[in-house]
Structures are given as C-alpha cells and as structure tokens.
Amino acid sequence: MACILNDGRLTLSGDVGDFYFGDHFTYSDVLLALAQVDADSTLDVHINSGGGYATEGAAIHALFAGRTGITNFVVEGIAASAASLIVMAGDVVTMSAGAVLMIHDPASWTFGTVDDHAKTVEGLEALATAYARVYALKSGKSEDECRAIMKAERWFAPDEAVAEGFADDAGTGKGEPVAAFDYRTYGHAPPKLAALAKRKNWSMAQAKAKRAPTSTGAPTASASTQPQNQEPPVADNTNGGQAPDNASAIATAVAADRQRRREIMALDEARGREDLAGYFADETDDPVEKVKAALSRSPKNGGQGGAGTNGGGAPAMSSTQQHAQRRLNGEGLNGSDGPTAQRGDRAILSAAADARNKRR
C-alpha cells in the first residue's frame, strides 16, 4: 500500500489499483484514509503515479470530488492516465517543478469473438466519454476538445498544464484568488471560470439582487440611462456563491442518533450486555424496540469469566476497544494471522448475526 496519511497530508504513490506487485493505492486505501480526516477540513494530497486501472481512478476521483472541504493536489513527478483523472478533483492543482501530466484514452484487451471485441469497444467509448467530461469540468474546455487531447495522448509540463486549464499553479507560482460568482451568466467568460462556477455550483440565485445603496445620496442610473450592451454589475455574494449548506439537517440527524444511543444504553436489557448494546447503537440503525428484543435474547457480557472480565481474568475491553481490535485483526495489521475474538466478542458477534438473520 502506498497511501499514507500523516499530519493532515495524504501521499499517494505507485499504481492506481492493485497490480499485485510494486507500490500501489486502491479505492479502499483512500476511503480508509479519508475516514480519518474531517470532511470539512482542508486536505493536501501529494501524488506521484503513472496511472493504472481506469475504473479505479474514476472511483478515487469521486471520493475526493465528494468532499465538502477544500482538497488541494500537488503533482510530484508524474500524474498520468488514471492518476491524471484523480487530480482533476483538486480545488487547486499544483504542478511541482519538473512534474508532468499525461492524458490519454483508456485501453483494454479482449479474447473472444467479434461480438466480444465489439463489447470491449463499447465499454471503452463509454469510459472515455466519462473521462472527457471530468477533464472538461476542470479545464473549461468542451468535451470534444478533451476527447481529442485523450486520443492524441498529450504530455504537459507544469506551465502547459496550467495554460490548458488542467492545473492551477506551476512550481512556486501561485494563482490569483477567484471571486465566487456565476461566470456562466456571461457569454464570453473565460472557459475555466465558467467551469469553476459549474463545479462549485456558484449561482446568482444565492447572491443579493442588488448592491446595498450607499449613504452619499448620489443618484443611481435608471434603466433608460444605463449604457446599452453593458454587462450588469456583480451583486454582493455574502455566502461565497455556495449552495446553502445542510449543517442544520446534519446537526438534527446527529442529535437524533445520540438520543437513540442513550435510550439503548439505558435499557434494562442492556445491563450486563453493554458491549452488545453498544454494537447495536453504533453499527446498526435498528429502532430501540427491536434492539431491546434482541438484547433480551442474548447472553450477558463476560461469558464464563463474569462481568468485567474477558473470560480469562483480564479486564474486559470496552466496546470501542473491541471494535478497534476486530478491525485490526481483520486487516492483519496487528500481526495476527486472521480475525480473533475474546469469548465476550464471540457472544456479541453471534447475537448480532442472529439479529441480522431475523431481519431478513
């Protein structure tokens, strides 16, 4: 695995997808890394990859594009093929000195009949079309222009990548900040600004209709005196042009989840079964009554060792510790040969399986 998260900086190197040899990073690697980062935070991603599986690159691009926080990419060395698509998710893409960006058509192979080959062609065309749309959204070019670049297999030095719209900064040079505004309202706005407005969902609907009048008493131009063919003034945009966030809905959902957890842990049936109750509260969305029924049919924590122990006389781990231990065992990161469980864990997992089977 070459997906390393360190102090808020994510480094991706090697092939895109698991080729069973050499450095590589996968969709799952990136997903686990992002799970440890606040979705609203600014994340810097450093990448050095010659590409790999096209579909894996598309999936990883979607992970970064779906973040609510700012995601900045720094290309160190190379971002080619599927890796070049991944960096298109960056709010700011910086090409390090000496780095290159390569864009080309996806490729595949087929063994079979004429119909089998035709299906491969059909799939590649669909994938190439999807890629072209992503490149167009970042660069401001048309999909046809991006498709032509892909077919030609273009290699871009830092300055060229910036000039073509696929990157924002070259080396140490920093671009000027861009005001949040729906540049699509103008017929001749720079394509990259129009693409940025589309990607950010900047809309005039969120801006104030007019700039607040000043107190100087200066007369304002009427419709009859306004110069013809002049673009309208830019309205104030107090929220940065972004669509209204869903913070209120999120807060309500979090509060409801916490209340549900409190109710579950307060059940009489949860006494002596705290670990299992915690599992149902944190890992399922079952209503409280269903959890209550499942708990009533389940053995209490501790197995033969009694409450407060793990069956061998050692203090029992908390539900959080047990969950972390199971994850480590399952991923082979703690040196074990496979998943292991304390006696209390086996009872928890068995009861959870019974509950799942009853829901089917």
What percent of the chain lies above the pLDDT cut of 70?
61
156 and 273 in a single domain? The answer is no
Q: Does 315 fall in a domain?
A: yes
Give the highest mean pLDDT range of 184-193, 216-225, 324-333: 184-193
Q: Does 98 fall in a domain?
A: yes
* pLDDT tens, residue by residue, 334-345: 444 444 444 444
Q: Does 193 fall in a domain?
A: no
136 and 8 in a single domain? The answer is yes
Structure confidence at residue 221 as a pLDDT band (50, 70, 90): very low
**How far apart are the C-alpha atoms of 14 and 30, rounded to whole Å?**
13
Domain closes at, from 170, 189, 213: 170
* pLDDT tens, residue by residue, 273-303: 888 888 788 777 788 888 888 888 877 764 4
- Name which residue leads in pLDDT, 182 or 44: 44
Q: What range defines the domain where residue 284 resides?
A: 248-359
258 and 132 in a single domain? The answer is no
With 50 as the cut, is the pLDDT of residue 272 above it? yes
Give the model's pLDDT for residue 215. 42
120 and 261 in a single domain? The answer is no
* pLDDT tens, residue by residue, 310-336: 444 444 555 555 555 554 444 444 444
Structure confidence at residue 93 as a pLDDT band (50, 70, 90): very high
- Name which residue leads in pLDDT, 76 or 208: 76
Q: Does 192 fall in a domain?
A: no
Q: Does 230 fall in a domain?
A: no
275 and 160 in a single domain? The answer is no
- Name which residue leads in pLDDT, 271 or 191: 271
Structure confidence at residue 249 as a pLDDT band (50, 70, 90): low
30 and 121 in a single domain? The answer is yes
Structure confidence at residue 242 as a pLDDT band (50, 70, 90): very low
Q: Does 57 fall in a domain?
A: yes
Structure confidence at residue 248 as a pLDDT band (50, 70, 90): low
Mean pLDDT (whole number) for 143-168? 94
Q: Does 28 fall in a domain?
A: yes
159 and 283 in a single domain? The answer is no
CATH number at residue 122: 3.90.226.10
Give the model's pLDDT for residue 121. 94
287 and 150 in a single domain? The answer is no
Count of structural domains within the chain: 2
351 and 265 in a single domain? The answer is yes
Domain closes at, from 110, 143, 170: 170
Domain closes at, from 125, 144, 170: 170
What backbone torsions phi and psi does residue 274 show, to the nearest 5 degrees? -60, -40
Q: Does 190 fall in a domain?
A: no
138 and 280 in a single domain? The answer is no
Mean pLDDT (whole number) for 65-87? 95
252 and 346 in a single domain? The answer is yes
